[in-house]
Structure 1
Amino acid sequence: MSNSATNKEPPHKKRKTSPSPPDLSWSPLSSLPDEMILSCLARVSRLDQAALSIVSKPYRSLMASPELYKTRSELGCAENCLYVCLLTPPDPTPRWFILRRGETLNRLSPIPSLSSQSPEASSVVVMDWGIYVIGGFIKETTRTSDVWLLDCRSHTWCQVPSMGVARACAAVGVVNGKIYVFGGCLDPDSSNWAEVFDPKTQTWESLPPMPDRTKRNQYIHDSVVVREDKIFAVDAVDRTYCYSPSEGKWGRGNDAPTQGNTRDWCVIDNLIFCMALSGSVYWCAPDQLEREPEGMYWRKVEGLVSLKKRLSSSRLVHFDGKMEALWESYKITIGRDKKLIDLLPGTRLSKSGSNVLLLWDVIEGDHLEIWCAEISLERRQGPEIWGSIEWSNAVMTVDPFLHHYKVGALLKCFQYPGDELSMNFITKYHQ
């Protein structure tokens, strides 16, 4: 894996032709308009979709086509799939899993991983049928500009054009089918501090420079897209920056004083949710990101007391070795004696449709379990949101486990219109 873009073809020269729309003339429904054929097939049950995949090669291709994905999503037929990237030393390579849901038990099942993936500080973003893994650290302190794509239809990997600069801990967001990346580079004054990737043309472009470059921070711990028109990034000292793609302008958002260093911001039903060090889930309205003197006001999601102790004791590490070293030198200056792992939430949070997904670890002796819970949300009269545990169980076991200090997890959930049977068949077919 390369750690810079200097020896690679310039990103603007890397172009790929967009895939052609599927040819539906072979279908028994060919007398109907293409849009109607896709609409009919998008409504087929999951089991029947798996059967269709083995009827013929054209049907197989259609089951894996972006057009079918888009149609199923628009019709509300898509599913939520949980993907987890887990690093468990001494294995230096992150491993990928998908949550297989059963009648009584949910488990993480392995899928093909990427041997050349950066082990730490990569940023991830979901778009259409794939997960983009962007940048990260290789060899502990060396950033990479590499970008990889996990095709969730076939669970295969491919490399996409690299960024203009190497990054780690960058903020990412998707607006109007393009991926925006902020920060994470060594030089905060770089003209490439922010870039945008267009999957259709397979090219990267630099965004207009931020006016106040002196206040930019290379360490970004969260990002969130609000109302599909603004991307907010949160830096290491809880300042927020925003960029409006439609206007091509930068702005400063509200400062985000947190309930114990919140992490994993996400938008669910037009509200922002996050995880706190205390083991509590918090929420706030998106309009509080607009700059106000008093800062953002977070409210606790009620009804999750039974989970709080387990969540607060989790130590899933999700920061890089360089940041830990910087903290060790910085804490002497400010007179703090706590370790960085004790200052950051260990539980990971993601969204699953209108629900919250939580992932945490339980370590006893040489035994490690990864637990997951799905939380439904109910907005009651007044400014209160209550959470109810839909299910909770251990989804993975690592035994023996002797490296308590370093377990990393990256949680991502997205809408996918396929099903496990068809995905397994397509994977086998392509092999």
Structure 2
Amino acid sequence: MSKSEEPTQEQRKEEASPEACLTQDVTLNCLARVSRMDLAALSVASKSYHSLVASSDLYKIRSLMDRTETYIYVCLLTPPPDPNPRWYILRRRKTLDASDLIPIPSLPSQPPEASSVVVLDWSIYVIGGMRNGKKRTSDVWLLDCLTHRWRPVPCMGLGVARAYAAAQVVDGKIYVLGGCRRFDPNKWGEVFDPKTQTWDTLPPMPSMPTRKEGNKNIHDSVVRDQKVYVVDGTVRTYYYSPRQGLWGCGNRGQVKGNRRDWCMIDNLVYCLNVNGSIYWFEPDEFDLREPEGMMDTKEVKGLGSLKRTLFRSRVVHFGEHLRQQWEQDKIKHGITPQTKNPFVISLELEDLLPGARLSNSGGNIMLFWDVIERDRLEIWCAEISLERRQGGDVWGNIEWSNAVMTRVPFLERYKVLYSVSVTL
């Protein structure tokens, strides 16, 4: 071999690398058996490993081999001088009875409130939101959970800015309903196809007895029978069926008190109450019936100690504009501390909304809340498994519970804006 034909130093490194001795298929099959945390460490070993670890083919193989792992991504709104939401991964330590939040790259341009967040495949989509407490946006961003890199997604196609909209995934597409500044039946819903990277308009929303045109914000939403059910700010329910291309009415959304953070687990719907309780109800409670009535909800049993802690928590997820609207409504309706209403204990917005965040994580409930003692702030997390026992009652069991963030001293509260589960 002539001197000019000798391999370069870079070529020698590549040829000497372990993965160079294996075919890519064999390498991917080997890597699929490695934990996600160890894969992150391997990704810095060489350029080849980094490319393989970030490959979607690897995670398809992990899914086929049933080697996937569930990770909790958390978004916090932190006090000034940092006005931007920050993203973290929840890490549970195996050797110690502790957990913490590991920061990952955040999106500087993310709205500080009112975005809709969904998970599709290995990506987290942040849709719309509110800036400066009053300006809605049509921007959409994607966090690639394989590489933890952000990239823009085409803006919503109707030219409508949305905040507090419903966003759910059905048949691999993202459906976004409501959240507009003004009600327009022709622009109330649209759908995003990630394969074509395009937005399409949904059929016009018809006039419904459970629909008030003055309402703009979505209270909560879930997917049931491949339909997106929405609970709007007037505590009414309606749905959109993508497979039928039809809108429909639902039952009244009021469920004996202020309930938020609805999620579906094993064909039951769970939500939080302002008193710290977790409630559940059958999904057919969404169905329209005459005469219209409240949903029949029942409390999850076995969580008495957690209820007392959640009742004192005030990690809430509303923006300054909601606070201002609440103050205006009190004046408009003549609501004062002297108002005779046995159900009104406090007129402060913080006391009227649940103080925790609830989400579905692999069939269990994942909860976040705060604990404040003097100048010490702790954000706690608990995972709760669920069991429906003979007689029909649902019981909860706290699988683990730990503080995941501590701030001493703290000047303002940290808000848990969003928490979602991603399977990798």
Q: Normalising by structure 1, what TM-score?
A: 0.83
1:149 and 2:142 correspond: yes
Aligned residues: 386
Matched, 1:388 2:381: no
Aligned-residue offset at 1:130: 1.1
Aligned to 1:194: 189
Shift of 1:52: 6.1
Correspondence for 1:283: 280
Give the stretch that moved more between structures: 251-260 or 66-75: 66-75
Q: Where does residue 178 of structure 2 map in the other structure?
A: 183
Structure 2: state its 5+ residue gaps. 1-19, 337-346
Report what 1:255 is aligned to: 252
Select 1:366's aligned residue among 375, 378, 382. 375
What's the offset of the Cα at 1:408? 2.1
Deviation at 1:53? 4.2
Q: Which residue of 1 aligns with 2:11?
A: none
Does 1:79 pair with 2:74?
no
Q: Deviations over 1:281-322 (max 9, x none)?
A: 111122221112333211111000001111011111211222
Q: Given the alignment of the two structures, is residue 301 of structure 1 paired with residue 308 of structure 2, yes or no?
A: no
1:192 CA drift (Å): 1.7
**Contact 2:116–2:166 (Cα < 8 Å) also in 1:** yes
Counterpart of 2:263?
266
Residue 405 (structure 2) pairs with residue 408 (structure 1):
no
Amino acid at match of 1:171: A
Matched, 1:353 2:340: no
Alpha-carbon distance, 1:62 to partner = 3.2
Q: Percent of aligned pairs with the same residue? A: 58
SS in 1 for 2:288: coil
What is the letter of the counterpart of residue 317 of structure 2? H
| Residue number in structure 2 paired with 1:218 | 216
RMSD value over aligned CA atoms? 2.3
Please name the residue that 1:328 is paired with. 327
**Offset at residue 394 of structure 1 (A):** 0.8
Cα offsets for 1:394-419 (capped at 9, x unmatched): 10012221225xx42123232322xx
Residue-by-residue CA offset, 1:60-118 (whole Å, 9 max, x unaligned): 33332233324433543222211111112223111111111103211111111111110
Counterpart of 1:221 in structure 2: which amino acid?
A: H
What SS does the corresponding residue of 1:61 show, helix, strand or coil? helix
Once residues 27 and 194 of structure 1 are traced to their aligned partners in structure 2, the CA distance between those partners, rounded to angstroms, is 52
Equivalent-residue separation in structure 1 for 2:197 and 2:323 (angstroms): 35
Is residue 208 from structure 1 mapped to residue 208 from structure 2 by the alignment?
A: no
Tell me the residue number matched to 1:166: 161
- Aligned ranges 1:5-24 → 2 under 5 Å: none
The structure with more radius of gyration = 2
Q: Offset at 1:42?
A: 3.5
Once residues 250 and 359 of structure 1 are traced to their aligned partners in structure 2, the CA distance between those partners, rounded to angstroms, is: 34
In the alignment, does 2:83 pair up with 1:92? yes
TM-superposition CA deviations, 1:266-286 (whole Å, max 9, x none): 111121111111101111122
Read off the aligned partner of 2:374 and give its amino acid letter. G
CA contact (8 A) 1:82 1:411 kept: no
> How far off its partner does 1:225 sit?
1.0
What one-letter code is carried by the residue in structure 2 that aligns with 1:234? V
Does structure 2 conserve the Cα–Cα contact (< 8 Å) formed by 1:258 and 1:298? Answer: yes
Cα distance in 2 for partners of 1:51, 1:110 equals 16
Distance 1:117 1:73 in 2: 31
Amino acid in the other structure paired with 2:351: D
Q: Which moved more, 1:115-124 or 1:40-49?
A: 40-49
Query: What amino acid does structure 2 have at the position aligned with 1:410?
Result: L
Partner Cα separation in structure 2 for residue 50 and residue 122 of structure 1: 29
Partner of 1:358: helix, strand, or coil?
strand
| 1:237-259 deviations in Å (ceiling 9; x for gaps) | 21111011001100111112224
Distance 1:183 1:29, change over 3 A: same
For the Cα contact (< 8 Å) 2:100–2:405, is it kept in 1? yes
1:360–1:370: 8 Å Cα contact kept in structure 2? yes
The CA deviation at 1:56 is: 5.8
**Alignment partners' CA distance in 2, 1:221 and 1:202:** 28
Against the structure 1 CA distance between its residues 370 and 220, is the aligned structure 2 distance closer, same or farther, given a 3 Å change threshold? same
* SS of aligned partner of 1:192: coil
CA distance in 2, matches of 1:29, 1:48: 21
SS at match of 2:318: coil
Change over 3 Å in CA distance of 1:387–1:360 after alignment to 2:
same
* Matched residue SS, 1:215: coil
Q: Which residue pairs with 2:386 in the alignment?
A: 377
Q: Deviations over 1:28-58 (max 9, x none)?
A: 457xxx7x98667534555774576467645
Q: Decide which of 344, 347, 350 is 2:353's aligned counterpart.
A: 344
> Which among 116, 129, 134 is matched to residue 122 of structure 2?
129
Q: Does 1:236 align with 2:248?
A: no
In 2 relative to 1, CA 74–230 (structure 1 residues): closer, same or farther, beyond 3 Å? farther
- 1:135 Cα shift? 0.9
Where 2:321 maps in the other structure, the secondary structure is helix
Distance 1:187 1:46, change over 3 A: closer
Give secondary structure in 1 for the equivalent of 2:381.
strand
Q: Quick check: 1:260–1:343 contact (8 Å CA) kept in 2?
A: no
TM-fit CA distance, 1:209:
0.9
Structure 1: state its 5+ residue gaps.
1-25, 418-431
Task: Indicate conservation of the 8 Å contact 2:268/2:282, yes or no.
Answer: yes
